[in-house]
Amino acid sequence: MSEVIATNQTILVVGGGISGVTAAIEAAECGKQVILVEKNPSIGGRVSQLYKYFPKLCFPSCGMEINLRRIKANRNLRVLTMAEVSAVSGESGNYSVTLKNAPRYVNENCTACGDCETAVATGFDSEYDYGMKQRKGAYLPFNMAYPQRYVLDPRIIGTPDADKAKAACRYDAIDLDMQESETTITVGAIIWATGWQPYDADKIQPYGHDRYDNVISSVEFERMLDPFGPTGGKIVRPSDGQEARNVAFIQCAGSRDRNHLKHCSRICCMATLKQTTYLREKFEDDFKASVYYIDIRAIDRIDDFYRKVQADPNVSFVKSKVASITEDKETGNPVLHGVDTEGYHRYSNPHDLVVLAVGMEPSVPKDSFPVDVVINDNGFIETDAANGGIFAAGCSSDALDVNRAVQSATASALRAIQVVNRVAGTEG
Amino acid sequence: MSDEIKTGAYICKGCGLGERLDCDQLATIAEREGKASIVKQHDFLCNAEGVAMIQNDIDNEGVNRVMIAACSRRSKTEAFNFQNVAIGRANLREGVIWVRPDSDEARETTQEMAADYVRMGCAEVKFMTPPHASEEAASNDHILVVGGGVTGMTAAIEAAAAGYPVTLVEKTGQLGGSAAFEYKRIPEHMPYADPEDTGIAGMVAKIGSDSRITVHLNSTITRTSGAPGRFSADISTESGSTTTENFGAIIMASGATGYDAGQLPELGFGKTPDVVDQAGLEKLALEANGGPIKRPSDGKEVENVVFVQCAGQRSETEGHLPYCSGHCCLTSIKQAMYFKDQNPNIDTNIIYTDLRTPGAGGEDFYRSGQQKGITFTKGAVSEVSVNGSNVQVKFKDLILNQEVNETADLVVLATGMVPNSGVDIDLPVTAADEEVNLDNLVPEVKVESILNLTYRQGPDLPHLKYGFNDSHFICFPYETRRTGIYSAGPVRRPMDMQQAKEDATGAALKAIQALENAKLGRAAHPRSGDLSFPSFRKEGCTQCKRCTVECPFGAIDEDEERYPQFNEARCRRCGTCMGACPVRVISFENYSVDSVGQQLKIVDMPDEFDEKPRILVLACENDAYPALDMAAKNGNHYSEFARVIPVRCLGSVNTIWISDALNSGYDGIVLMGCQKGENYQCHFVKGSELAHVRMSKVDDTLETLNLEKERVETYEVAITDIERAPQLINAMAETVEKVGMSPFKF
Amino acid sequence: MTDANQQMVEQYRNNFLREVEDNVEEGEWVKMCMQCGVCSGSCPFGPHWEHPPQEIFMMIRAGKRDEVLQSDSMWMCTSCYNCIVRCPRELPITHIMHGLAHYAKRLGIAPKNQPTHKFAQLFWNNLTRTGRVNELKLGLALYFMNGIGEGIKTSLKMQKIGLGMLMTKRLAPMELIGGHKCKDAKGLQAILKKAEELEAARIPTAGK
């Protein structure tokens, strides 16, 4: 682990998703010293697991490529992966942060050739694919991972696979002796951008996500569209691999619900509308999509995307929160039960596949946040002067879409700069 | 290029290059044909030792052109980041050995491919000078904020808090914008239960006491010129007195105007004073000041009020707004609370089709509204009319499936916002005169220019859609088509106050970033940090203005002699001007007609009997080139006859390259750029589109040369086209086989 | 204005909603409903309700007093609590349904022949007489609730079970005469009478 030099004119960004990356780049391009820490082996976050963005239906890797170029070109910005913040103390303009660095077991000699991956045997659930696929014990997190460096799953250390990996590497890039280490750095301001995780759909008992194969979450559905993903880009039913041409989307699964997440997760309506276009992309005219909703939130300028999808004759909208799901044992079809509230009409609709538009749960450790910040009931960090030099960006601050997350990240970069500029002012 | 060129060529043998290629032969080519003074091979060029070797040659052997024959320029970029030298990367890994089979049959052509890339790499660096900043780089920390509403005030406060002086210009006689006319605002803090004080007074006071902020009231911008770092703006009052000041960057926060509800006679506006819009309700609330709100018609206390959501919005009907204004559902809840907080017995009913209360605060506020007794009815309002002394709202209750006539004392129409975005420079101009015809414009949009830019392309920021100045990029919302000028707040996209403040803070950062980079002569997104800038040979210029008109960022003006005037700080370094110039007088220090043209010419051209065609691939570095790299990483092969040259943008492709390629004997040319059109992905907005237009004219050239049209193809390629991009190259190889070799080989 | 117009004019006002809040158990929750329909979909008796809970809440907000109170819908509630568990707003729907039924009863406009209503009345009568439920009498009253013919038919159908219970001492035939009481049945009746008076005082005479 090379030496990390930081002062109280340095800005620390915690989290390497789209918000953290944006905040870090924007601050660094203003000439500030920035350190970006990410606990996973690669930056990119959850947007790298998406197929397309709404409403343009463009690819996340496009914007990420530009961000990577900007990162590579900027000497003010240092990216530390496999690093997690374990303690924070101090005050605005002078924080002491302890980082826990997990061993990657691969050093900077790695050329991403892939020989180690070919050599090892054991498979593990792929986090990137939400467990829908396996990956090897020596792996590159995904195609556009940054750094482009392999990583060893700690579970193979001490097993023959580790030795096989080391033997296969021609560049002496595998170091099985790497240890967990701790670094303590001084920074002036901290941007907290740890993003979100999908609400655990298993908790929504009536929907049977944990019992029925063909009830999946929206993030799992999204993974299917990746040609390098678990289904090679095909939209299929997990139960039998058949094409899923009649798909139900259940909105507010776990959101706006005092039994689960109280807040509205904002993006799920647009994400579902986007996913109906995937069906059209893959199946042309031969599909049906049913969206079960309470309110469709296609907000501001992008409301026309909703109208565009409404105009698709194969997509229907039912104002109903689905009450329960059962399974037709013979066909494996999930059957949705509920009441269409517009005019009161009961239904028991079978579908090939059910997609639960699960909400965003903020990845803010509410009860164990390393330092005192104002966290609201919904788990998000609020903008509050009491937070001192700690600023939330992206989905740590509210349920946001990418556009707003970038807006939030850019704003938090300025707030962090205000702090370090004040420090610079006092220090001359 | 006055300095003596000393090229160092470094050939890496790692990653299988040493096994698959004859690196000695490549070294010879670099020396003899590439004229490299120093040629070295290394087993593992990117490791510390290899890098040190190159650095040593730079420091002690005078090497000022570094040609690295190894992996793609996108790999190991940080490792090969040498300062003050020109660097070329010959892509032998992703560009050659990873896209060709490791077999005996393929060995010969694979070697030829590698040899060509080494030649090309050496040729390229000869025409690259390590870029230095333009002398035009100007330093000015002063930021101009146009518009004194919540957005403008926030931008001013935040920029000042970062240490930058700000001038805030406001058209009316007071700061605060539309929020100054609101009784309270939607809550911005937990528990998100009650309307809060607007905070405007506090902001105005803060600005008043901040010595770094200068305020001009009753003023507009009557002229803006210059570039980041050296903007100059005339701030004029109505009486005509003008101050001219210089700024480093500009934030446009001119806000939005309420939609004219007079266009909704079917909703009763104008038929009775008891039908008001949201702004009208705020006025009544301010007048009541905590006491009962009274009907405008007869002063009776309002006992029941109905809110009609999405009035004249989210609709394709002529005269209506085709978008959602984002805040109105929350605003109606807030306004219903004005009544309920004063007297819980007042009936408040909000009629909506989709209730939009997003995020954490939104849903909390909705619940709080319900807690206070506000009722919500999903219904479609068809008519609001007068009924005696009452107002009648006719709607269909979509839940109970019945037609209803509800009577109310007061009806509030939740109408939308229309951005004050100035002149739409992309609108077609009438043939009669050069003045914009007011009748052609959407009635609600004001025609007065906000910025009065002296730019040749037009006086305001280009609009994106529906009159908003948003950038088209989801990942880069602030990157509008005018460098150094950032829009923020409702003029950029419909939004509420809390978002406007966040937006203003973000825009303030971008403005600061722009002026800091201008000091150093550095480019903004997407070629951040790029020091190169276009220069042109005046003697050769024919004043055709193509560069000026086609520049996607309006960076080029016209001087008094009618020559193009390049404003380096406004430039994004895409090279569209270079591609546009028919006499090829425009170039960058490290990217020119020659730096690419010489590459394609140096390729070894086998004669027609060898049956080895040559296919030139010009791939945009933003999407297409990464797609080809990733295709290679995934083992997707393509034709051994392809020679790929990355370009900054397809817009920078000059047709001379096409004619040179054809004249040199290339059998096929494939251009790959980003998506164009309404959903453009092109990072320089217009570049890809322009390329397609230019290439459509190349058909004529092909005809005169008696060549088949299929030999030149232009494609839109996405970064995820990992399967498709190689297929496009292979398709061209098939075409060439079909139509035969080019007759221009010698 | 005639009564009908008055009703039309007062649609979608909060009068009935307020009435419900004041008089129905957990009535103040009705305004929190966001019309998602999960309750209606979850109710196992759903198909038999004329108006499912979510619709009833909307009808209350629309001022449809008579349709709601005279409906037999809420009487169908079996207290399974499926709706409460799933309601995203955590409305105590079961209690509101019972509350509405009870309120309708107190107003005297509950549907007369609704079986649950009738049984509830029987139960109440049975219980308040002695302060204890007389199961034998209640069972027989239930059989004969819909008339003598029905009563005899049901009794005959159940006779085997009845005999079985008698043999295993699960049935005390002496309960038919008198039956066990609580300590102060008269005192209990006095309490209940007073409670009824207090409740009745809160019922509004009309509308607001």
* pLDDT single digits (tens) B633-672: 999 999 999 999 999 999 999 999 999 999 999 999 999 9
B162: closest CA of chain A, how far (Å): 4
Task: Round to whole Å and give the CA distance between C158 and A320.
Answer: 43
Say whether A238 sits in a helix, a strand or coil.
coil
CB B15 within 8 A of CB A111: yes
Bridge-based pairing state of the strands B586-587 and B535-536: antiparallel
From the CA atom positions of chain B, what is the Rg in Å? 31
- Contacting residues of A for B517, CB less than 8 Å apart: 29
CB-CB under 8 Å, B363 with A263: yes
Q: Where does the pLDDT of residue A125 fall: very low under 50, low under 70, confident under 90, or very high at 90 and above?
A: very high
For A338, which of C35, C37, C89 is closest by C-beta distance? C37
CB-CB under 8 Å, C11 with B347: no
What interface predicted TM-score (ipTM) does this complex get?
Answer: 0.94
Residue of A nearest to B466 (CA): A301
pLDDT at B322 exceeding the cut of 60: yes
Closest CA to B163 of B248, B234, B223: B248
Taking the Cβ of residue C53 and every Cβ of chain A, the question of whether any pair is shorter than 8 Å is answered with no
From the CA atom positions of chain A, what is the Rg in Å? 23
C172: closest CA of chain A, how far (Å): 44
Quick: pLDDT tens for B404-458: 999 999 999 999 999 999 998 887 654 444 455 455 555 444 478 999 999 988 8
Find residue A423's DSSP bridge partners.
Answer: none
Stretch B352-364: mean pLDDT, rounded? Answer: 93
Task: Round to whole Å and give the CA distance between A94 and A98.
Answer: 13
| Backbone phi, psi, residue B527, to 5° | -95, 55
Closest CA to B227 of B248, B252, B251: B248
- Contacting residues of A for B495, CB less than 8 Å apart: 300
CB A281 within 8 A of CB A274: no
Structure tokens at B501: 């403040």
Quick: pLDDT tens for A315-328: 999 999 999 999 99
Closest CA to A112 of B101, B98, B52: B98
- Residue B109, burial from CB neighbour count under 10 angstroms (0-12, 13-18, 19+): middle
| pLDDT at res. B727 | 97
Amino acid at C74: M
Buried b (16+ CB within 10 A) or exposed e, B426-445: eeeeeeeeeebeeeeeeebb
- Across B86-100, B465-479, C174-188, the highest mean pLDDT is recorded for B86-100
CB B529 within 8 A of CB A29: yes
CB-CB under 8 Å, C55 with A341: yes
Stretch A396-406: mean pLDDT, rounded? Answer: 95
CB atoms within 10 A of CB B596: 27
Structure tokens at B625: 């080139």
| pLDDT at res. B3 | 63
Q: Where does the pLDDT of residue B137 fall: very low under 50, low under 70, confident under 90, or very high at 90 and above?
A: confident
From the CA atom positions of chain C, what is the Rg in Å? 20
Task: Round to whole Å and give the CA distance between A285 and A276.
Answer: 12
Query: What element of type H or E holds B533?
Result: none
Handedness of CA A141, A143, A147, A148 (dihedral sign): positive
**Portion of chain B with pLDDT greater than 90, in percent:** 84
| pLDDT at res. C204 | 58
Say whether B103 sits in a helix, a strand or coil.
coil
Structure tokens at B12: 């890496």
pLDDT at A189 exceeding the cut of 90: yes
Residue of C nearest to B378 (CA): C35
pLDDT at C182 exceeding the cut of 60: yes
Task: Round to whole Å and give the CA distance between A166 and A163.
Answer: 5
pLDDT at A131 exceeding the cut of 60: yes
Stretch B132-141: mean pLDDT, rounded? Answer: 85
Taking the Cβ of residue C67 and every Cβ of chain B, the question of whether any pair is shorter than 8 Å is answered with no
* Residue whose tokens read 């039960």: A337
B367: closest CA of chain C, how far (Å): 7
Least confident of A114-128, A172-186, B539-553, B692-706: B692-706
- Contacting residues of C for A324, CB less than 8 Å apart: 41-42
pLDDT at A2 exceeding the cut of 50: no
For B400, which of C14, C18, C62 is closest by C-beta distance? C62
Taking the Cβ of residue A344 and every Cβ of chain C, the question of whether any pair is shorter than 8 Å is answered with yes
Taking the Cβ of residue C204 and every Cβ of chain A, the question of whether any pair is shorter than 8 Å is answered with no
Task: Round to whole Å and give the CA distance between C194 and B270.
Answer: 57
pLDDT at C6 exceeding the cut of 70: no
Find residue B242's DSSP bridge partners.
Answer: B236
Stretch A94-112: mean pLDDT, rounded? Answer: 94
What are chain C's partners, defined as 3 or more CB pairs within 8 angstroms?
A: A, B
As a residue count, chain C comes to 208
Q: Where does the pLDDT of residue B746 fall: very low under 50, low under 70, confident under 90, or very high at 90 and above?
A: low
- Contacting residues of B for A344, CB less than 8 Å apart: 401
- Residue C132, burial from CB neighbour count under 10 angstroms (0-12, 13-18, 19+): middle
Distance from the first to the final alpha carbon of chain B: 32
CB-CB under 8 Å, A113 with B401: no
Taking the Cβ of residue C71 and every Cβ of chain A, the question of whether any pair is shorter than 8 Å is answered with no
Task: Round to whole Å and give the CA distance between B705 and B713.
Answer: 16
Mean pLDDT of chain A: 94
Taking the Cβ of residue B474 and every Cβ of chain A, the question of whether any pair is shorter than 8 Å is answered with yes
Alpha helices in B618-723 (DSSP H): 624-633, 655-664, 687-704
Quick: pLDDT tens for B271-304: 999 999 999 999 999 999 999 999 999 999 999 9
Taking the Cβ of residue C85 and every Cβ of chain B, the question of whether any pair is shorter than 8 Å is answered with no
pLDDT at C113 exceeding the cut of 90: no
- CA contacts within 13 A on the Cβ side of C26: 17
Say whether B597 sits in a helix, a strand or coil.
helix
| pLDDT at res. B428 | 62
Annotate A293-315 with DSSP letters as a single string.
ESS----GGGHHHHHHHHT-TTE
Taking the Cβ of residue B16 and every Cβ of chain A, the question of whether any pair is shorter than 8 Å is answered with yes
For C36, which of A206, A259, A294 is closest by C-beta distance? A294
- Contacting residues of A for C40, CB less than 8 Å apart: 323, 338-339, 341, 344, 346
* C-alpha A241: how far from chain center: 26
CB-CB under 8 Å, A384 with B509: no
- Contacting residues of B for A58, CB less than 8 Å apart: 474, 675, 679, 681, 718
| pLDDT at res. B305 | 96
CB-CB under 8 Å, C55 with B399: yes
Taking the Cβ of residue C9 and every Cβ of chain B, the question of whether any pair is shorter than 8 Å is answered with yes
A64: closest CA of chain B, how far (Å): 8
Say whether B652 sits in a helix, a strand or coil.
helix
Structure tokens at B229: 């770092």
Q: Where does the pLDDT of residue C161 fall: very low under 50, low under 70, confident under 90, or very high at 90 and above?
A: confident
Nearest-5° Cα angle at B141, B138 to B143: 110
Stretch C48-62: mean pLDDT, rounded? Answer: 93
Residue of B nearest to C17 (CA): B373
Quick: pLDDT tens for B599-627: 999 999 998 788 899 999 999 999 999 99
Say whether B622 sits in a helix, a strand or coil.
coil
Closest CA to B530 of B490, B568, B573: B573
Interface A-C, measured as beta-carbon pairs within 8 A, has a size of 66
CB-CB under 8 Å, B377 with C58: yes
| pLDDT at res. B432 | 43
| pLDDT at res. C205 | 52
As a residue count, chain A comes to 428
Buried b (16+ CB within 10 A) or exposed e, A373-410: bbbbebbbbbbeeebbbbbbbbbbbbbbbbbbbbbbbb
Task: Round to whole Å and give the CA distance between A218 and B73.
Answer: 36
Alpha helices in A29-100 (DSSP H): 60-73
| Backbone phi, psi, residue A262, to 5° | -75, -25
Q: How does DSSP classify residue A263?
A: S
| pLDDT at res. A4 | 66
Residue B77 to residues A64, A146, B115, Cα–Cα distance (Å): 16, 12, 22
* Best residue of B401, B478, B513, B679 to probe chain A, by most A CBs closer than 10 Å: B513
Task: Round to whole Å and give the CA distance between B650 and A186.
Answer: 45
Q: Where does the pLDDT of residue A427 fall: very low under 50, low under 70, confident under 90, or very high at 90 and above?
A: low
Q: Where does the pLDDT of residue B529 fall: very low under 50, low under 70, confident under 90, or very high at 90 and above?
A: confident
Task: Round to whole Å and give the CA distance between A409 and A420.
Answer: 17
Least confident of A53-67, A89-103, B438-452, B682-696: B438-452
Task: Round to whole Å and give the CA distance between A252 and A237.
Answer: 22
